[in-house]
Chain A
Amino acid sequence: MSPKAAKSFPSPYSMKAPKGAEGWQDLYPYYLTFRDNLRKQEEAKFWFCDSQHWPNVFKPFEVIGVEFASRCLGAYNTRHYIIPPANGIDFRIHMGYNYFSPVGVAPELIPDRVPHFLERAGHYFANWGDLLENWRKDVLKNIEEIDSINFTKLPDMVPLEDITGGKGMDPSVQLFDDFDRLISLCYKNWERHFEFLNLGYVAYLDLFMFCKEAFPGIPDLAIAKMVMGVDSVLFRPDDELKTLADLAVKLGLTAHFTGDDSKTVLAAVAAASNGAEWIAAFEKAQDPWFNYTVGNGFYGTDVYWRDNLDLPVGYISDYVVRAAKGERLHRPKDELIGERDRITEEYASALDDEARETFMGKLGLARVVYPYVEDHNFYIEHWTMGVFWRKVRQLGQLLADEGFWGKATDILYLNRDEVRPVLFDYANAWAVGTEPIGPTYWPNEIARRAKIISALETQRPAPAFNEPPAEINEPFTVMLWGITTAQVQQWLGADDSGKGGLKGMAASGGVVEGKARVIMSPDQLGELVQGEILVAPVTAPSWGPVFGKISATVTDIGGMMSHAAIVCREYGLPAVTGTGKASTTIKTGMMLRVDGTNGTVEILSK
């Protein structure tokens, strides 16, 4: 570490908002901004930016994701399982970005928490399979219920059958109720999100700690590979596309996949002689597997395959070209399993009998619980949130049609608690037989807010605030966000590798040299050329189809268990995550050498 390195990050109170963003605080809930009267206590805590999950500035409605996720994560640690050393993770929104601060437990309180944890978490570990099946049923039921919500215009007259049936209520009751249910069902699935996740991580952590002690210096990657699943549902959507591409080649439909958009392609295939069989398979794959986003589920404008078939059909078309050349599209599952077994066997064989028994016991449990860590992402971030945002946009469109604002996504400029009064305004004017007030208020207000958001978007988030702890040893922080003592020092300007190199997490092994392609947003994914190295602030697991094209991945943010790391391991690509600054240091076209085994990225030529 260089002696000149700063010891502390700036205080959020000393940061200046970009020009035009004045008053941004009012777009977010009062309890989520750094408030002036609490300056002393807020500055005493270390906050780091989670741009892994929230890389873009929040519009007011989108705060729902960070609120539900962070609150529910905390509740499971603090109130459900009483995890002895860890409470939740406090969060704030500053200039449109999310900052986290883990909340520990005072050492003297830890022992009393242990018996509760043993009883509660112990019950889950002992009944994992049954409880998980229960989880799946409930999560799917909630999704189904969200999907059944249908926001429609209030009718000119209350339906006659409601009159004759003596219902005694008009459809506004249903409208209010549907909105409340939409929010509540989303909340319920975020509760479910963390029911198993934290336990999955602690079981993994147990294996992790054992390995670090028994094999001092063992690479984190080795441990991740030992528990790696190869049949996670998270990879199923991409696998479905590959299967559809193989089917197209088998049915002799290759020539029809050259159209510019999905409409042209699907029409051409449908008209072909074997086309009906393929179209049927395509329809079947959509539910649920096209509830999949190129984003990460936290933004109302995230594009889901189901809502924009150009995406999956485009990917399929790329795959068809490769499949027609005889290329094997599907991930090399047997090789991945073979490599996992070789690694496990080689470490196990270095232990004496007693230690080997412990190792295999911990590994066995980690392998039971670990698939959840990968699978949940499809059920919640993709499927639940895909259906959720579609319904929010449907409501946005209804209110746009009623003159409240210009287009469906304008609803995102309201926070969720502002939408309810808008519905009342709408239903009230409908009832009274007059014009709602909203159309004279919201368009200007939305334009004002949109300006602020655009101004915030001109500035990248500061990586952290205030003085970091001397050592970062909170296991979740290290594992999920890749935030280590060394990483924090690097952010503070201490030198890392010295010679134009970047250092990060050795997230997925192998060494590759190639051309860089810097991708700052999912819209740019189409620019990737076969064999290039993907460099991005963060990647989403749903970028799956591009992983067949690229030769390695480098990200700014993310730990060993980040989605980019998991996907790269599944695809057998080298990855270095959590470099802090790859996407701003590296330019498209530079030649890179990515060493995913040692966590280094070298810029070979500009």
Chain B
Amino acid sequence: MALYTFPFDSTETPEHDRLGGKCTSLAIMTSAGMPVPPGFAVTTDAYNAVVNDPKLQEHIHTILSRIDLENVADLDHGAAEIRELILTQPVPDEVYNEVHGAYKTLMELCGGEVPVAVRSSATAEDLPDASFAGQQDTYLWITGETYVLQKIRECWASLYTARAITYRAANNIPDEGLSIAVAVQKMVNSRSSGVAMTIDPSNGDRTKIVIDSSWGLGEMVVSGEVTPDNFMIDKVMLSVVNRIISDKHEELVPTGHGSIARREVDAERRNSSSLSEEEILSVAKLAKAAEKHYGSVQDIEWAIDDDLPAGQNVLLLQSRPETVWSQKKSETKVVSAGSGIEAITKSMLASMNQNK
């Protein structure tokens, strides 16, 4: 068992104390069949191994004890001094080796060096006053190991911003045992994306999953700027029961540096399906897993990541409860209620008047 890192797709049980809230939830979603963008946690053990060095701790205490919390300039100066200590503190080899290994594994999965997001994952964010959680940092579109390691340190150091120090002081939160985990997670490179609902929104049939899908990022599907492909899947059998392939004229694509480009879809792709057969079923399974996990009809956002291998490239971006149909009765019409010979007769007669 790795001590300093924890891949989100690990089969081990995620412990909140080691992973923090964000990473724990990412790991739980992955194991529940709702793969989020792949990545790993740098655990609180890594933080502890670096920051709980006795000499460093003594140094931090000395600085903290001499800061005048009422003096903004003094506070800013002291906080910066502590953060600088953390940013330059040597990282033990065993910690570095594990983080290096986890990062390398992630890049290999992605078929080369790709940008990641580095986010802090606080262990205390589920405390009653969770506003504390918002004080940690998020860094997007980070490329290269040097920069990733730098941002991990910045996440560690973020426990000593001026705001964090005053917050702890004001709420009597001791600095002892203070720790933080860090999430390193692939930035999604959407080849196709869209939304899915675990209900047929035209009649409230709960045995269907409908998918809207288009090329590139999902914003154009959500905003209605492009007519997406539409798939209806039987939720129980996981087979496609209807499909409409639309003319998808434009797409939004990430440039890899945090900006987004809008471009025309070439002639060949615009009228072809934005999802393969396997991908349609993967998105449907993802939606079904989300519905099972949250226990109610779900409305999800998903993406197909172009950097990831088939079978692992369908990602869940967001899941929220569906609110319209969940409140009312299905509108599917049934001709023959009841059972037995009367019902049999009724449906036999009805079947003759129906076109298949």
Contact = CB atoms under 8 A, between A and B. Distances in A.
Interface of A: 83-85, 110, 114, 117-118, 121-122, 125, 202-203, 205-206, 209-210, 213-219, 221-222, 343, 346-347, 350-352, 354-355, 358, 361-362, 364-365, 471-475, 478, 484-485, 506, 509, 595, 597-598
A110 B335 CA distance: 18
A117 B353 CA distance: 19
B356 A219 contact: no
A206 B341 CA distance: 9
Interface stretch (B51-59, B139-147, B239-247): B239-247
Contact of B341 (A125, A346, A351, A506): A125
A222 B235 CA distance: 11
Contacts of A475: 348, 351-352
B3 interface: no
A107 to B, nearest CB: 9
B261 interface: no
Contact of B347 (A209, A347, A509, A595): A209
B345 A84 contact: yes
B239 A206 contact: no
Interface stretch (B72-80, B169-177, B202-210): B202-210
B257 interface: no
Interface in B226-268: 232, 234-242
Given A205-B351, A209-B351, A350-B205, 4 more contacts: A213-B333, A358-B343, A365-B340, A473-B355
B131 interface: no
Nearest to B240: A598
B15 to A, nearest CB: 33
B334 interface: yes
A531 B144 CA distance: 47
Nearest to A354: B337
Interface string B79-121: 0000000000000000000000000000000000000000000
A508 to B, nearest CB: 12
Report, as a range, how many residues of chain B touch the other chain. 35 or more
B271 to A, nearest CB: 14
Contacts of A210: 334, 336, 347
A478 B356 contact: yes
Interface in B189-223: 200, 203, 205-208
A488 to B, nearest CB: 11
B340 A125 contact: yes
B339 A365 contact: yes
A118 B346 CA distance: 11
B65 interface: no
A478 B355 CA distance: 12
Contacts of A343: 236-237
22 contacts: A117-B345, A118-B342, A122-B340, A125-B341, A206-B344, A209-B336, A209-B350, A213-B333, A214-B205, A214-B332, A215-B205, A215-B207, A215-B332, A218-B237, A222-B237, A347-B207, A347-B236, A358-B337, A361-B338, A361-B340, A471-B356, A509-B237
A355 B333 CA distance: 10
A213 B203 CA distance: 11
A121 B341 contact: yes
Contact of A206 (B236, B240, B348, B354): B348
Contact of B239 (A361, A485, A506): A506
Contact of A122 (B277, B330, B341, B351): B341
A485 B355 CA distance: 9
B221 to A, nearest CB: 22
Contact of B234 (A219, A478, A484): A219
Nearest to A115: B345
Contact of A118 (B206, B336, B337, B345): B345
Contacts of A205: 344, 347-348, 351
A485 B345 contact: no
B334 A219 contact: no
* 6 nearest A-B pairs in the assembled complex, by CB-CB distance: A361-B339, A350-B206, A217-B241, A209-B347, A122-B341, A597-B239
A595 B240 CA distance: 11
